[in-house]
Structure 1
Amino acid sequence: MGLGRGDLSGGESMSMSTSTSTSESSLPRRFPLAAQPEIMRAAEKDDQYASFVYDACRDAFRHLFGTRVAVAYQRETKLLGQMLYYVLTTGSGQQTLGEEYCDITQVAGPYGIPPNPARRALFIVYQTAVPYIAERISSRVVSRGIVLADSQSDEPYNNDAPGSSHVQSSTVTNLPPSSTSGVSVSLTRLKQKFNGLWLYAVQRWPTVLPIAREFLQLVLRANLMFFYFEGLYYHISKRAAGIRYVFIGKPSNQRPRYQIIGVFLLIQLCVIAAERL
Protein backbone atom coordinates (compact mmCIF):
# COMPACT_ATOMS: atom_id res chain seq x y z
CA MET A 1 0.00 0.00 0.00
CA GLY A 2 1.49 3.25 -1.09
CA LEU A 3 1.32 6.69 0.41
CA GLY A 4 -0.83 9.34 -1.16
CA ARG A 5 0.24 12.73 -2.37
CA GLY A 6 -1.55 14.35 0.55
CA ASP A 7 0.56 12.40 3.03
CA LEU A 8 3.75 13.31 1.17
CA SER A 9 2.86 17.00 1.05
CA GLY A 10 1.91 16.93 4.72
CA GLY A 11 5.23 15.33 5.62
CA GLU A 12 7.15 17.84 3.54
CA SER A 13 5.29 20.77 5.14
CA MET A 14 5.96 19.37 8.61
CA SER A 15 9.68 18.99 7.82
CA MET A 16 9.85 22.50 6.37
CA SER A 17 8.12 23.99 9.41
CA THR A 18 10.44 22.06 11.72
CA SER A 19 13.54 23.26 9.85
CA THR A 20 12.22 26.82 9.85
CA SER A 21 11.56 26.76 13.59
CA THR A 22 15.01 25.32 14.31
CA SER A 23 16.68 27.93 12.10
CA GLU A 24 14.73 30.72 13.83
CA SER A 25 15.66 29.38 17.26
CA SER A 26 19.32 29.21 16.27
CA LEU A 27 19.38 32.91 15.29
CA PRO A 28 20.33 35.32 18.11
CA ARG A 29 17.58 37.49 19.48
CA ARG A 30 17.90 41.16 18.55
CA PHE A 31 16.86 43.63 21.22
CA PRO A 32 15.88 47.17 20.21
CA LEU A 33 17.87 50.13 21.39
CA ALA A 34 16.60 51.82 24.52
CA ALA A 35 14.64 55.02 24.01
CA GLN A 36 15.65 58.36 25.48
CA PRO A 37 12.96 58.43 28.22
CA GLU A 38 14.05 55.02 29.49
CA ILE A 39 17.73 55.99 29.65
CA MET A 40 16.99 59.31 31.36
CA ARG A 41 14.66 57.69 33.90
CA ALA A 42 17.27 55.04 34.68
CA ALA A 43 19.95 57.70 35.18
CA GLU A 44 17.67 59.63 37.52
CA LYS A 45 16.96 56.49 39.56
CA ASP A 46 20.67 55.66 39.74
CA ASP A 47 21.42 59.15 41.06
CA GLN A 48 18.79 58.68 43.77
CA TYR A 49 20.10 55.28 44.85
CA ALA A 50 23.70 56.51 44.78
CA SER A 51 22.68 59.39 47.04
CA PHE A 52 21.17 56.84 49.44
CA VAL A 53 24.50 54.99 49.58
CA TYR A 54 26.30 58.31 50.10
CA ASP A 55 24.00 59.19 53.00
CA ALA A 56 24.68 55.80 54.60
CA CYS A 57 28.45 56.28 54.22
CA ARG A 58 28.23 59.80 55.65
CA ASP A 59 26.27 58.62 58.69
CA ALA A 60 28.73 55.80 59.31
CA PHE A 61 31.67 58.17 58.92
CA ARG A 62 30.09 60.66 61.33
CA HIS A 63 29.48 57.98 63.97
CA LEU A 64 33.05 56.72 63.67
CA PHE A 65 35.06 59.95 63.46
CA GLY A 66 32.73 62.74 64.52
CA THR A 67 30.80 65.49 62.77
CA ARG A 68 33.76 67.80 62.17
CA VAL A 69 35.80 65.15 60.34
CA ALA A 70 32.72 64.05 58.37
CA VAL A 71 32.12 67.61 57.16
CA ALA A 72 35.82 68.07 56.30
CA TYR A 73 35.85 64.90 54.18
CA GLN A 74 32.41 65.32 52.65
CA ARG A 75 33.68 65.11 49.06
CA GLU A 76 35.64 61.95 49.75
CA THR A 77 32.58 60.38 51.38
CA LYS A 78 30.47 61.22 48.33
CA LEU A 79 33.11 59.67 46.09
CA LEU A 80 33.13 56.54 48.25
CA GLY A 81 29.34 56.23 48.09
CA GLN A 82 29.22 56.60 44.30
CA MET A 83 32.06 54.16 43.76
CA LEU A 84 30.45 51.59 46.07
CA TYR A 85 27.16 51.83 44.19
CA TYR A 86 28.65 51.46 40.71
CA VAL A 87 31.28 48.87 41.69
CA LEU A 88 28.64 46.62 43.28
CA THR A 89 26.33 46.91 40.25
CA THR A 90 28.11 47.77 36.99
CA GLY A 91 31.52 46.60 38.19
CA SER A 92 30.19 43.13 39.00
CA GLY A 93 28.44 42.84 35.63
CA GLN A 94 24.93 43.35 37.01
CA GLN A 95 22.23 45.87 36.17
CA THR A 96 21.98 48.95 38.29
CA LEU A 97 18.74 49.52 40.14
CA GLY A 98 17.74 52.21 37.68
CA GLU A 99 18.47 49.98 34.67
CA GLU A 100 16.50 47.14 36.24
CA TYR A 101 13.60 49.49 36.93
CA CYS A 102 13.46 50.59 33.27
CA ASP A 103 14.18 47.14 31.72
CA ILE A 104 17.37 48.18 29.97
CA THR A 105 20.83 46.65 30.02
CA GLN A 106 24.31 47.69 28.96
CA VAL A 107 25.91 46.50 25.73
CA ALA A 108 29.09 47.44 23.91
CA GLY A 109 30.82 46.76 20.61
CA PRO A 110 29.33 46.23 17.16
CA TYR A 111 27.71 42.92 18.15
CA GLY A 112 25.81 44.21 21.18
CA ILE A 113 27.48 41.98 23.76
CA PRO A 114 27.80 42.91 27.47
CA PRO A 115 30.74 45.23 28.16
CA ASN A 116 33.96 43.63 29.32
CA PRO A 117 35.52 44.45 32.73
CA ALA A 118 37.87 47.02 31.19
CA ARG A 119 34.98 49.06 29.76
CA ARG A 120 33.05 48.83 33.02
CA ALA A 121 36.08 49.96 35.04
CA LEU A 122 36.69 52.83 32.61
CA PHE A 123 33.07 53.95 32.97
CA ILE A 124 33.26 53.87 36.80
CA VAL A 125 36.48 55.92 36.79
CA TYR A 126 35.02 58.51 34.40
CA GLN A 127 31.72 58.67 36.27
CA THR A 128 33.08 59.01 39.82
CA ALA A 129 36.83 59.67 40.09
CA VAL A 130 37.44 62.11 37.22
CA PRO A 131 34.97 64.80 38.45
CA TYR A 132 36.39 64.50 41.97
CA ILE A 133 40.00 64.82 40.79
CA ALA A 134 39.18 67.81 38.57
CA GLU A 135 37.38 69.57 41.40
CA ARG A 136 40.20 68.91 43.86
CA ILE A 137 42.87 70.17 41.47
CA SER A 138 40.83 73.30 40.72
CA SER A 139 40.28 74.12 44.40
CA ARG A 140 43.93 73.42 45.20
CA VAL A 141 45.15 75.77 42.46
CA VAL A 142 42.70 78.48 43.50
CA SER A 143 43.80 78.31 47.14
CA ARG A 144 47.44 78.32 46.07
CA GLY A 145 46.81 81.38 43.92
CA ILE A 146 45.26 83.23 46.86
CA VAL A 147 48.31 82.46 49.03
CA LEU A 148 50.64 83.55 46.22
CA ALA A 149 48.77 86.81 45.73
CA ASP A 150 48.97 87.55 49.45
CA SER A 151 52.71 86.80 49.51
CA GLN A 152 53.30 89.05 46.50
CA SER A 153 51.39 91.87 48.15
CA ASP A 154 53.68 91.55 51.20
CA GLU A 155 56.91 91.49 49.16
CA PRO A 156 57.45 95.31 48.99
CA TYR A 157 57.44 95.50 52.76
CA ASN A 158 59.83 92.56 53.05
CA ASN A 159 62.24 94.01 50.48
CA ASP A 160 62.43 97.33 52.35
CA ALA A 161 63.45 95.59 55.58
CA PRO A 162 67.06 96.39 56.64
CA GLY A 163 69.60 93.65 56.10
CA SER A 164 67.48 91.63 53.71
CA SER A 165 69.78 92.20 50.74
CA HIS A 166 72.79 91.40 52.89
CA VAL A 167 71.28 88.10 53.96
CA GLN A 168 70.42 87.14 50.37
CA SER A 169 73.92 87.99 49.13
CA SER A 170 75.50 86.04 51.96
CA THR A 171 73.39 82.98 51.19
CA VAL A 172 74.37 83.16 47.55
CA THR A 173 78.10 83.61 48.17
CA ASN A 174 78.29 80.96 50.87
CA LEU A 175 77.08 78.09 48.68
CA PRO A 176 79.16 74.96 49.03
CA PRO A 177 81.44 74.07 46.11
CA SER A 178 79.63 70.77 45.56
CA SER A 179 76.49 72.59 44.36
CA THR A 180 78.30 73.77 41.24
CA SER A 181 78.52 70.28 39.79
CA GLY A 182 76.79 69.53 36.50
CA VAL A 183 74.11 67.22 37.87
CA SER A 184 73.07 69.57 40.65
CA VAL A 185 72.97 72.53 38.26
CA SER A 186 70.75 70.66 35.82
CA LEU A 187 68.44 69.53 38.61
CA THR A 188 68.26 73.06 39.93
CA ARG A 189 67.38 74.45 36.49
CA LEU A 190 64.73 71.77 36.01
CA LYS A 191 63.24 72.57 39.38
CA GLN A 192 63.26 76.28 38.58
CA LYS A 193 61.49 75.66 35.26
CA PHE A 194 58.88 73.48 36.97
CA ASN A 195 58.32 76.09 39.66
CA GLY A 196 58.04 78.77 37.00
CA LEU A 197 55.43 76.81 35.08
CA TRP A 198 53.53 76.05 38.28
CA LEU A 199 53.53 79.72 39.32
CA TYR A 200 52.43 80.77 35.83
CA ALA A 201 49.56 78.25 35.92
CA VAL A 202 48.54 79.38 39.40
CA GLN A 203 48.58 83.03 38.37
CA ARG A 204 46.64 82.44 35.17
CA TRP A 205 44.14 79.98 36.64
CA PRO A 206 41.63 82.59 37.97
CA THR A 207 41.25 83.89 34.40
CA VAL A 208 41.30 80.44 32.81
CA LEU A 209 38.77 78.87 35.21
CA PRO A 210 35.66 80.66 33.84
CA ILE A 211 36.69 79.77 30.28
CA ALA A 212 37.26 76.14 31.27
CA ARG A 213 33.87 75.95 32.97
CA GLU A 214 32.14 77.50 29.95
CA PHE A 215 33.91 75.06 27.63
CA LEU A 216 32.85 72.15 29.85
CA GLN A 217 29.24 73.34 29.73
CA LEU A 218 29.40 73.49 25.93
CA VAL A 219 30.78 69.94 25.83
CA LEU A 220 27.98 68.70 28.09
CA ARG A 221 25.35 70.43 25.94
CA ALA A 222 26.84 69.00 22.76
CA ASN A 223 26.82 65.50 24.25
CA LEU A 224 23.18 65.98 25.31
CA MET A 225 22.30 67.21 21.82
CA PHE A 226 23.81 64.09 20.22
CA PHE A 227 21.96 61.95 22.77
CA TYR A 228 18.62 63.46 21.78
CA PHE A 229 19.44 62.89 18.11
CA GLU A 230 20.83 59.35 18.25
CA GLY A 231 19.64 58.14 21.67
CA LEU A 232 22.85 56.31 22.65
CA TYR A 233 25.03 58.07 25.23
CA TYR A 234 23.37 60.16 27.94
CA HIS A 235 26.59 60.54 29.97
CA ILE A 236 30.01 61.47 28.63
CA SER A 237 31.45 58.66 30.75
CA LYS A 238 29.41 56.10 28.81
CA ARG A 239 30.41 57.70 25.51
CA ALA A 240 34.08 57.48 26.50
CA ALA A 241 33.66 53.83 27.54
CA GLY A 242 31.53 52.94 24.50
CA ILE A 243 28.61 51.61 26.59
CA ARG A 244 25.06 51.94 25.28
CA TYR A 245 21.67 50.45 26.22
CA VAL A 246 19.19 48.01 24.74
CA PHE A 247 15.59 47.46 25.84
CA ILE A 248 14.86 43.96 27.19
CA GLY A 249 11.30 44.48 28.44
CA LYS A 250 7.98 43.78 26.82
CA PRO A 251 7.67 45.30 23.35
CA SER A 252 5.51 48.40 23.20
CA ASN A 253 4.56 50.75 20.43
CA GLN A 254 4.60 53.81 22.71
CA ARG A 255 8.34 54.49 23.00
CA PRO A 256 8.76 58.20 22.15
CA ARG A 257 11.91 59.85 20.86
CA TYR A 258 13.18 63.33 21.64
CA GLN A 259 14.80 64.50 18.41
CA ILE A 260 13.00 67.84 18.58
CA ILE A 261 14.87 68.70 21.80
CA GLY A 262 18.12 67.96 19.98
CA VAL A 263 17.12 70.50 17.33
CA PHE A 264 16.52 73.14 20.02
CA LEU A 265 19.91 72.39 21.61
CA LEU A 266 21.60 72.66 18.20
CA ILE A 267 20.03 76.08 17.68
CA GLN A 268 21.17 77.13 21.15
CA LEU A 269 24.75 76.01 20.48
CA CYS A 270 24.76 77.89 17.17
CA VAL A 271 23.57 81.07 18.91
CA ILE A 272 26.26 80.72 21.59
CA ALA A 273 28.95 80.16 18.95
CA ALA A 274 27.77 83.20 17.00
CA GLU A 275 27.94 85.34 20.14
CA ARG A 276 31.49 84.19 20.83
CA LEU A 277 32.58 84.89 17.27
Structure 2
Amino acid sequence: MTARTAAQRPAPKTAVPEPEKPASPSVDRALTVLETLVGAEEGLTLTALAKATSIPLATCASIVYTLEQRGYATRRVVGRSHFWRPTLRLYDLAAPLIRREDLSEVAQPQLRELADALRMPAHVGVLDGASVVYVAKAATPGFIQFDTYPGKVSPFNLTALGKAIAAYLPDAELEPLLDHLVQGTGPKARKATARGVRTQLAKVRQLGYAVEDEEETAEIACVAAAFFDSEGAVAGSIGVTGFARELGGRKLVSATELVVRQAKEISAKLGF
Protein backbone atom coordinates (compact mmCIF):
# COMPACT_ATOMS: atom_id res chain seq x y z
CA MET A 1 0.00 0.00 0.00
CA THR A 2 1.46 3.33 -1.00
CA ALA A 3 1.24 6.41 1.17
CA ARG A 4 -0.98 9.21 -0.11
CA THR A 5 0.66 12.44 -1.15
CA ALA A 6 -0.34 15.71 0.50
CA ALA A 7 -2.42 16.58 -2.54
CA GLN A 8 -4.24 13.24 -2.35
CA ARG A 9 -4.97 13.41 1.37
CA PRO A 10 -8.52 14.55 2.17
CA ALA A 11 -8.70 18.06 3.61
CA PRO A 12 -9.19 18.09 7.36
CA LYS A 13 -12.75 18.71 8.42
CA THR A 14 -13.39 22.09 10.07
CA ALA A 15 -15.23 21.68 13.33
CA VAL A 16 -18.54 23.53 13.23
CA PRO A 17 -19.45 24.78 16.70
CA GLU A 18 -22.87 23.71 17.83
CA PRO A 19 -25.23 26.56 18.73
CA GLU A 20 -25.33 27.15 22.46
CA LYS A 21 -28.50 25.80 23.96
CA PRO A 22 -30.43 28.02 26.37
CA ALA A 23 -30.34 26.94 29.99
CA SER A 24 -34.13 27.29 30.12
CA PRO A 25 -35.91 26.71 26.78
CA SER A 26 -39.24 27.92 28.21
CA VAL A 27 -37.75 31.23 29.36
CA ASP A 28 -35.97 31.56 26.02
CA ARG A 29 -39.26 31.11 24.15
CA ALA A 30 -41.08 33.62 26.37
CA LEU A 31 -38.38 36.24 25.81
CA THR A 32 -38.42 35.53 22.07
CA VAL A 33 -42.17 36.16 21.97
CA LEU A 34 -41.82 39.35 23.99
CA GLU A 35 -38.96 40.66 21.85
CA THR A 36 -40.93 39.87 18.67
CA LEU A 37 -43.98 41.75 19.95
CA VAL A 38 -41.84 44.75 20.84
CA GLY A 39 -40.14 44.74 17.45
CA ALA A 40 -43.37 44.49 15.45
CA GLU A 41 -44.75 47.73 14.04
CA GLU A 42 -48.32 46.48 14.37
CA GLY A 43 -50.18 43.94 16.45
CA LEU A 44 -49.61 40.30 15.58
CA THR A 45 -52.08 37.43 15.48
CA LEU A 46 -51.15 34.20 17.22
CA THR A 47 -50.55 32.56 13.84
CA ALA A 48 -48.24 35.37 12.70
CA LEU A 49 -46.46 35.39 16.06
CA ALA A 50 -45.91 31.63 16.00
CA LYS A 51 -44.55 31.84 12.45
CA ALA A 52 -42.24 34.77 13.27
CA THR A 53 -40.81 33.04 16.33
CA SER A 54 -40.81 29.44 15.04
CA ILE A 55 -42.62 28.46 18.23
CA PRO A 56 -45.54 25.98 18.15
CA LEU A 57 -48.91 27.73 18.10
CA ALA A 58 -50.16 26.21 21.37
CA THR A 59 -46.96 27.18 23.19
CA CYS A 60 -47.09 30.66 21.72
CA ALA A 61 -50.68 31.05 22.93
CA SER A 62 -49.75 30.01 26.46
CA ILE A 63 -46.96 32.58 26.52
CA VAL A 64 -49.01 35.55 25.30
CA TYR A 65 -51.92 34.69 27.62
CA THR A 66 -49.45 34.70 30.52
CA LEU A 67 -47.97 38.01 29.35
CA GLU A 68 -51.50 39.40 29.21
CA GLN A 69 -52.26 38.22 32.75
CA ARG A 70 -49.04 39.85 34.02
CA GLY A 71 -49.80 43.10 32.17
CA TYR A 72 -46.99 42.90 29.61
CA ALA A 73 -49.23 42.30 26.58
CA THR A 74 -52.69 43.28 25.43
CA ARG A 75 -54.89 42.27 22.55
CA ARG A 76 -57.28 43.99 20.19
CA VAL A 77 -60.14 41.92 18.80
CA VAL A 78 -61.15 42.54 15.18
CA GLY A 79 -63.85 40.12 14.07
CA ARG A 80 -62.48 36.68 14.83
CA SER A 81 -58.87 37.81 14.91
CA HIS A 82 -56.90 38.79 18.02
CA PHE A 83 -53.98 41.15 17.53
CA TRP A 84 -51.36 41.17 20.27
CA ARG A 85 -49.16 44.09 21.29
CA PRO A 86 -46.76 44.77 24.20
CA THR A 87 -47.72 47.29 26.89
CA LEU A 88 -45.82 50.06 28.66
CA ARG A 89 -45.49 47.79 31.68
CA LEU A 90 -42.10 46.99 30.18
CA TYR A 91 -41.13 50.62 30.65
CA ASP A 92 -42.12 50.45 34.30
CA LEU A 93 -39.87 47.43 34.64
CA ALA A 94 -36.86 49.18 33.13
CA ALA A 95 -37.46 52.69 34.45
CA PRO A 96 -35.65 52.21 37.79
CA LEU A 97 -32.54 50.95 35.99
CA ILE A 98 -32.67 53.79 33.47
CA ARG A 99 -33.15 56.32 36.24
CA ARG A 100 -30.18 55.01 38.19
CA GLU A 101 -27.93 55.11 35.15
CA ASP A 102 -29.10 58.61 34.24
CA LEU A 103 -28.69 59.93 37.78
CA SER A 104 -25.08 58.86 37.99
CA GLU A 105 -24.37 60.98 34.92
CA VAL A 106 -26.72 63.88 35.64
CA ALA A 107 -25.49 64.36 39.20
CA GLN A 108 -21.73 64.14 38.59
CA PRO A 109 -21.10 67.93 38.53
CA GLN A 110 -23.07 68.39 41.76
CA LEU A 111 -21.30 65.48 43.43
CA ARG A 112 -17.89 66.81 42.43
CA GLU A 113 -18.69 70.30 43.66
CA LEU A 114 -19.87 68.98 47.02
CA ALA A 115 -16.86 66.73 47.50
CA ASP A 116 -14.40 69.48 46.57
CA ALA A 117 -16.07 72.20 48.64
CA LEU A 118 -16.52 70.14 51.81
CA ARG A 119 -13.62 67.72 51.34
CA MET A 120 -15.96 64.84 52.06
CA PRO A 121 -17.19 62.03 49.79
CA ALA A 122 -20.52 62.86 48.16
CA HIS A 123 -23.16 60.33 47.12
CA VAL A 124 -26.42 59.95 45.24
CA GLY A 125 -28.90 57.39 46.53
CA VAL A 126 -32.20 55.95 45.37
CA LEU A 127 -34.75 53.93 47.28
CA ASP A 128 -35.13 50.23 46.51
CA GLY A 129 -37.78 48.79 48.79
CA ALA A 130 -36.79 49.56 52.37
CA SER A 131 -33.15 50.10 51.40
CA VAL A 132 -31.24 52.99 49.94
CA VAL A 133 -28.82 52.12 47.13
CA TYR A 134 -25.77 54.27 46.51
CA VAL A 135 -25.73 54.79 42.73
CA ALA A 136 -22.95 57.38 42.35
CA LYS A 137 -20.03 58.74 44.34
CA ALA A 138 -17.46 61.53 44.15
CA ALA A 139 -14.49 60.63 46.31
CA THR A 140 -11.91 62.88 47.92
CA PRO A 141 -8.14 62.34 47.91
CA GLY A 142 -6.53 61.19 51.10
CA PHE A 143 -5.43 58.19 53.09
CA ILE A 144 -8.75 57.73 54.87
CA GLN A 145 -11.55 56.43 52.66
CA PHE A 146 -15.09 55.77 53.84
CA ASP A 147 -16.80 52.46 53.16
CA THR A 148 -19.22 53.94 50.64
CA TYR A 149 -19.36 52.91 47.01
CA PRO A 150 -21.82 52.65 44.10
CA GLY A 151 -23.93 49.59 44.75
CA LYS A 152 -23.80 49.78 48.53
CA VAL A 153 -27.14 49.04 50.18
CA SER A 154 -28.21 50.34 53.61
CA PRO A 155 -31.46 50.47 55.59
CA PHE A 156 -33.31 53.63 54.64
CA ASN A 157 -34.03 54.61 58.26
CA LEU A 158 -30.35 54.59 59.24
CA THR A 159 -29.03 56.87 56.51
CA ALA A 160 -29.49 60.52 55.68
CA LEU A 161 -29.87 59.55 52.01
CA GLY A 162 -32.72 57.16 52.82
CA LYS A 163 -34.53 59.46 55.23
CA ALA A 164 -34.29 62.38 52.79
CA ILE A 165 -36.15 60.31 50.19
CA ALA A 166 -38.65 58.62 52.51
CA ALA A 167 -39.74 62.00 53.91
CA TYR A 168 -41.41 62.82 50.58
CA LEU A 169 -43.01 59.48 49.79
CA PRO A 170 -46.80 59.25 49.61
CA ASP A 171 -48.14 57.55 52.72
CA ALA A 172 -49.23 54.51 50.72
CA GLU A 173 -45.59 53.96 49.68
CA LEU A 174 -44.10 54.82 53.06
CA GLU A 175 -46.36 52.57 55.13
CA PRO A 176 -44.92 49.23 53.88
CA LEU A 177 -41.37 50.46 54.57
CA LEU A 178 -42.18 51.02 58.22
CA ASP A 179 -42.61 47.27 58.64
CA HIS A 180 -38.94 46.76 57.73
CA LEU A 181 -37.10 49.14 60.04
CA VAL A 182 -33.61 48.16 61.14
CA GLN A 183 -32.21 48.94 64.56
CA GLY A 184 -28.99 50.92 64.38
CA THR A 185 -25.87 49.84 66.24
CA GLY A 186 -24.23 53.28 66.50
CA PRO A 187 -23.93 55.04 69.87
CA LYS A 188 -26.68 57.53 69.00
CA ALA A 189 -29.08 55.06 67.41
CA ARG A 190 -32.71 55.64 68.27
CA LYS A 191 -35.23 52.89 68.84
CA ALA A 192 -36.55 51.90 65.43
CA THR A 193 -40.31 52.42 65.66
CA ALA A 194 -42.79 53.52 63.03
CA ARG A 195 -43.90 56.43 65.18
CA GLY A 196 -40.34 57.58 65.78
CA VAL A 197 -39.40 57.38 62.10
CA ARG A 198 -42.51 59.32 61.11
CA THR A 199 -41.50 62.06 63.55
CA GLN A 200 -38.01 62.16 62.05
CA LEU A 201 -39.37 62.36 58.50
CA ALA A 202 -41.70 65.20 59.43
CA LYS A 203 -38.66 67.12 60.69
CA VAL A 204 -36.82 66.37 57.45
CA ARG A 205 -39.66 67.91 55.44
CA GLN A 206 -39.65 70.93 57.74
CA LEU A 207 -35.90 71.52 57.45
CA GLY A 208 -35.46 70.44 53.83
CA TYR A 209 -32.64 68.02 54.62
CA ALA A 210 -31.86 64.90 56.66
CA VAL A 211 -29.06 64.21 59.11
CA GLU A 212 -27.69 60.88 60.32
CA ASP A 213 -25.43 61.25 63.35
CA GLU A 214 -23.72 58.04 64.52
CA GLU A 215 -26.90 56.00 64.15
CA GLU A 216 -25.61 53.32 61.79
CA THR A 217 -21.89 53.51 62.62
CA ALA A 218 -19.89 55.11 65.41
CA GLU A 219 -18.11 58.38 64.55
CA ILE A 220 -19.79 58.67 61.14
CA ALA A 221 -22.37 61.31 60.17
CA CYS A 222 -24.17 62.22 56.95
CA VAL A 223 -26.25 65.06 55.56
CA ALA A 224 -28.56 64.63 52.55
CA ALA A 225 -31.37 66.36 50.66
CA ALA A 226 -33.94 64.98 48.25
CA PHE A 227 -34.35 65.92 44.61
CA PHE A 228 -37.44 65.56 42.43
CA ASP A 229 -38.37 64.59 38.88
CA SER A 230 -40.41 66.49 36.31
CA GLU A 231 -43.68 65.29 37.86
CA GLY A 232 -42.72 66.42 41.35
CA ALA A 233 -42.12 62.92 42.69
CA VAL A 234 -39.04 62.32 44.82
CA ALA A 235 -36.40 60.73 42.59
CA GLY A 236 -33.45 60.30 44.94
CA SER A 237 -31.15 62.18 47.26
CA ILE A 238 -27.67 63.65 47.36
CA GLY A 239 -25.48 63.97 50.43
CA VAL A 240 -22.06 63.88 52.02
CA THR A 241 -20.48 61.54 54.57
CA GLY A 242 -17.85 62.55 57.12
CA PHE A 243 -16.65 62.13 60.65
CA ALA A 244 -19.24 63.21 63.20
CA ARG A 245 -16.75 65.60 64.78
CA GLU A 246 -16.42 67.38 61.41
CA LEU A 247 -20.15 67.68 60.75
CA GLY A 248 -21.14 69.94 63.59
CA GLY A 249 -21.59 73.63 64.31
CA ARG A 250 -20.74 75.95 61.42
CA LYS A 251 -19.53 73.06 59.27
CA LEU A 252 -22.95 71.44 59.53
CA VAL A 253 -24.65 74.69 58.55
CA SER A 254 -22.44 75.17 55.48
CA ALA A 255 -22.77 71.48 54.56
CA THR A 256 -26.57 71.52 54.67
CA GLU A 257 -26.70 74.72 52.62
CA LEU A 258 -24.47 73.23 49.91
CA VAL A 259 -26.28 69.89 49.89
CA VAL A 260 -29.70 71.53 49.57
CA ARG A 261 -28.42 73.78 46.79
CA GLN A 262 -27.01 70.86 44.82
CA ALA A 263 -30.21 68.88 45.30
CA LYS A 264 -32.14 71.77 43.77
CA GLU A 265 -29.70 71.83 40.85
CA ILE A 266 -30.34 68.16 40.15
CA SER A 267 -34.09 68.69 40.45
CA ALA A 268 -33.86 71.44 37.84
CA LYS A 269 -31.92 69.13 35.52
CA LEU A 270 -34.66 66.52 35.91
CA GLY A 271 -37.29 69.08 34.93
CA PHE A 272 -38.72 69.93 38.34
TM range (shorter): under 0.3
Q: Which has the higher contact order (CA 8 A, sep 6+)?
A: 1
TM-score, length-scaled by structure 1: 0.24
TM-score, length-scaled by structure 2: 0.24
| Higher share of residues assigned strand | 2
| Higher share of residues assigned helix | 1
